[in-house]
Amino acid sequence: MKMYFLLSMGLVIFFNSDISAQDGKEPNSRSKEIYLLIDNYALAREKKDTVLLRKILTNDIDQLVSTGEWRYGINEAIKGMLQSSVGNPGSRILKVEKVRFLDESTAIADAHYEIKNPDNTIRKMWSSFVAVKALGTWKIAAIRNMLPGK
């Protein structure tokens, strides 16, 4: 099922040239829901709030982190997120740069992701989130974190 979803998503992107996109300007009301979802994710990570994480992540979430580790399913993702927060302490900032809607219930959000380390150095990354809307609620279905090439 997940493979079908990813293949379908790729085909929509490839064949549909009029997909809406945010260009860094003020988000519209539909995009604001995605911005809020990513803000809630950042808050949950910062506070290690597993209740909020369970509310905003799909049960079958998958996550690829910058170390190359894959996390599959909500339990593994939350466990890894908590371990990462302990192993990589510091404040996390996610700034959404663009939201693109593939259809009424699927969106991709691209964000700058920074971790300010205790020694004041900053780890700069990118994150992409796949959000899905089910029963009127947006949730995160996939996360991809990456370190930019030099």
CATH code linked to domain 27-146: 3.10.450.50
Domain assignments of the chain as residue spans, ordered by start: 27-146
Which pLDDT value is given to residue 1?
56
Q: Render pLDDT for 19-33 as a digit per residue (tens, 0 to 9).
A: 333 344 556 888 999
* Predicted TM-score (pTM) of this structure: 0.79
Q: Render pLDDT for 43-73 as a digit per residue (tens, 0 to 9).
A: 999 899 999 999 999 999 999 998 899 999 9
Rounded to the nearest angstrom, the gap between the alpha carbon of residue 148 and the centroid of all alpha carbons in its chain is 16
